[in-house]
Structure 1
């Protein structure tokens, strides 16, 4: 028996310390709810858990970002709802102003309301904001936009060329046609002989070899060609007679002959100079272009307007008037003075020029640049996590209705304003549609983010959180072991007491 080293007590004490340590850890886990409270608990698990926490918190913030984006988009779209309402009212007013029953006073009152609505559209654009960001005002800087082309209500084909110009080709006109230009009714009058001569000369028809043109009258078309003179040729005592230079029916082309009688017959078919054909009626075609020679009336060749009836005009006068109306229609909203109309061959509008095809330089407006901002909807620094929102300036200049006028004598201005307002409504509709599409996308984004957060949180919980039931089992076990250890330590401390009996 020894007293210096009580190994039973030492062993019991060591095991009690181990149990107490394990009991402390169980208590910590049960108290905190976490299985991993420090790196020593699970070094690899802690790394994985913190990485997941970073993703979860980032995705939570991204979801909030997307929700803020929805709020911003809804703010802009709500303001545009009122802009739409005002444009619809302006369309109603323009339609009213276009009616011929209105007096000057009536149209002035209509114009006053149009002005007020236009001003309110500008105010909405200037003041609509979300968290200090003006949504409909555009961004810093300016850009020049081309407005839509208008056909002034004329019948024809309008084509936007995509380069700041448009082409308008009127339906073909002929003598006797009725046409409305600028709210006035006109009748296409006859074409003078001089008009025909000028037309032929302008399109390369001259008294020279191989020059051709045709005349169509009813269902019959005759093509004429100018043939150069063919000289007589003497061969071996025989003579082949040629023919004189001049215009011949191409279907009955001149040929050489061996008799003077036949030669005379051939030459008898020769026509006078091309100018003489101008006395005929019909449709003249030269170089692929046509001119109708009508016989309803002879319009005054100095201005294209009949002297006795100003509603009777020549075809080219109709083109001139149509071009001027196209200019009026396309000047609406032109803040830069860029709109212009010329004939397709770049000649100026005139009563004796043009063929019904026009080149339109589109109206332009200088407006604020497009507002663009990105919504970050992911947890990573990846550009694919950006959703871009673009909102054009929505003031009257951007919509092409700045300075819109419906106040004139005959309602033409109101008529042309209807087209301009229609374009403005279409532009606002397009912007609202774009915002609606972004909002729908953001709602799907939010749903996806929330789903990822939920599933990632579940995975992180399995790594980091305490399984309370399992840990209570360990705690109960360690509690019992601690009590047993304390009891055994007490017993071991008592075992050395037997030594005292030897010392008595």
Structure 2
């Protein structure tokens, strides 16, 4: 027997220490709920868990970012709802003002007053709508120049936007005798002497020496004939004779009223109506050479019609042109005039200076990846950008109001386009939020399996270690008592 080394006690003490350490760890895991409380618990697991925690918290905040984005977009779109309502009211007013029963001094002025108020309110909405101190409809810092949309002034023809701030308008072909509406007035295309000469020549080319009627008097061509005394017929000189008056009986010589087509052409003077090949040509009486009949202002030449049409195009395209850039010229770049033009016009559209487009990005991901950015673009939604700044409907005959209807229609379309873009972004963000929440949930589940304590399993370990600790303490006590037998030898 030895007393210097009590190996039984030492062994029991060592095992009790191991059990107590394991028991302490179980207690820590059970009380914290985590099976990894320090790197020593699971170094690799801790690294994976912390990366997942970074992703989870980033995803949760990204979801919050997207929700804030939805709120900002809803704020802007809600404000544009009212802008749409005001534009619809302005359209009603413009249609009302275009009616000819309105008085310029009273009715149209009252309409203009309401249009001015609505315009001012649209500008106020654009200036004041904000979310978290960000002005949503005011635009961004800086300025840009925008082009207005080209207008055809209600003329019949084809309008082509060239995409470079210009447009081309080609009127439907005008022919002599056609009726055309320009600026709310009806005009008839009168003929010039050149028109009647060309018509007579064309008819002559189809059939030699055609019949020609001048102011209701028809001239027919009669070929030359020799005298026939036996039949009591005189000689006939070739030429044009008034229908119904030709007579060469009783040996009388017949002399034509007009010797040739050239003499018929010479009858085409101002106010004359020439009928050839079943078509009437009213020759315009234009002594002052302005393209307008001196006796009937509703009768004009084709070139005069082109001039008037060009001026109406200019008036229509000046709406919203705050920079006074709108111009209209003939296809050969000549200025509008009563004796020029071929019905094709070059339009330089109006312009306006507005604030730059507001653009902000929503970060909707946990990583520093630019694909996690969703950009929201919102144009300035004031009257200048909508092309209705300075809209005026107080002209004499309602033509300005008619053109205003087109401008308001463009403004409605522009607001609709912006609202559609915002609605598309909102729908995208809602899907983004659902996806982020789903990823966060699944990643949290994976991180839980790595880091969280399995309470049932750990409780089994704790109970086991608790029993072992009690047993160890009992065995240590017994081991300490085992050397007490040495005392009996020392008595």
Q: State the TM-score, normalized to the length of structure 1.
A: 0.82
Structure 1 position 405, deviation (Å) = 0.4
Structure 1 position 444, deviation (Å) = 0.5
**C-alpha offsets along residues 18-70 of structure 1, whole Å, 9 cap, x if unaligned?**
00000000000000000100000000000000000000001111010000000
Residues 1:458 and 1:135: Cα distance change in structure 2 (over 3 Å): same
- Alpha-carbon distance between aligned partners in 1 of 2:120 and 2:374, rounded to the nearest angstrom: 33
**C-alpha offsets along residues 425-476 of structure 1, whole Å, 9 cap, x if unaligned?**
0000000000000000000110100010000000000000000000000000
- Alpha-carbon distance between aligned partners in 2 of 1:494 and 1:387, rounded to the nearest angstrom: 77
Residues 1:278 and 1:40: Cα distance change in structure 2 (over 3 Å): farther
SS at match of 1:435: helix
Q: Which residue of 1 aligns with 2:478?
A: 491
- Alpha-carbon distance between aligned partners in 2 of 1:187 and 1:119, rounded to the nearest angstrom: 42
Matches for 1:188-207 after TM superposition, within 5 Å: 188-193=189-194
Q: Which residue of 2 aligns with 1:18?
A: 18
Of 377, 389, 401, the match for 2:388 = 401
SS at match of 2:361: strand
Q: Which residue of 2 aligns with 1:297?
A: 283
Matches for 1:116-155 after TM superposition, within 5 Å: 116-155=117-156
Q: Which residue of 2 aligns with 1:78?
A: 78
Q: Is the 8 A contact 1:191 1:298 kept in 2?
A: yes
Q: Is 1:185 paired with 2:174?
A: no
Q: Which residue of 2 aligns with 1:110?
A: 111
Residues 1:498 and 1:280: Cα distance change in structure 2 (over 3 Å): farther
Q: Is the 8 A contact 2:328 2:346 kept in 1?
A: yes
Structure 1 position 218, deviation (Å) = 10
- Alpha-carbon distance between aligned partners in 1 of 2:475 and 2:340, rounded to the nearest angstrom: 124
Q: Which residue of 2 aligns with 1:442?
A: 429
Q: Which residue of 2 aligns with 1:260?
A: none
Residues 1:501 and 1:327: Cα distance change in structure 2 (over 3 Å): same
Q: Which residue of 2 aligns with 1:89?
A: 89
Q: Is 1:331 paired with 2:356?
A: no
Structure 1 position 192, deviation (Å) = 2.5
Q: Is 1:40 paired with 2:26?
A: no
Moved runs in structure 1, 4+ residues, more than 2 A? Answer: 213-222, 275-281
Aligned-residue CA RMSD in angstroms? 2.2
- Alpha-carbon distance between aligned partners in 2 of 1:330 and 1:366, rounded to the nearest angstrom: 16
**C-alpha offsets along residues 283-305 of structure 1, whole Å, 9 cap, x if unaligned?**
xxxxxxxxxx9622324160111
Q: Which runs of 5+ in 1 are unaligned?
A: 201-212, 223-271, 282-292
Q: State the TM-score, normalized to the length of structure 2.
A: 0.84
Q: Which residue of 2 aligns with 1:164?
A: 165
SS at match of 1:47: helix
Q: Is the 8 A contact 2:284 2:292 kept in 1?
A: no
**C-alpha offsets along residues 85-125 of structure 1, whole Å, 9 cap, x if unaligned?**
00000000000000001112000000000000000000000
- Alpha-carbon distance between aligned partners in 1 of 2:32 and 2:341, rounded to the nearest angstrom: 91
Residues 1:192 and 1:445: Cα distance change in structure 2 (over 3 Å): same
Q: Which residue of 2 aligns with 1:284?
A: none
Residues 1:161 and 1:221: Cα distance change in structure 2 (over 3 Å): farther
Q: Which residue of 2 aligns with 1:241?
A: none
Matches for 1:273-352 after TM superposition, within 5 Å: 295-300=281-286, 302-352=289-339
- Alpha-carbon distance between aligned partners in 1 of 2:373 and 2:424, rounded to the nearest angstrom: 15
- Alpha-carbon distance between aligned partners in 2 of 1:464 and 1:476, rounded to the nearest angstrom: 21
- Alpha-carbon distance between aligned partners in 1 of 2:440 and 2:469, rounded to the nearest angstrom: 42
- Alpha-carbon distance between aligned partners in 2 of 1:452 and 1:110, rounded to the nearest angstrom: 57
SS at match of 1:295: strand
Q: Is the 8 A contact 1:215 1:221 kept in 2?
A: no
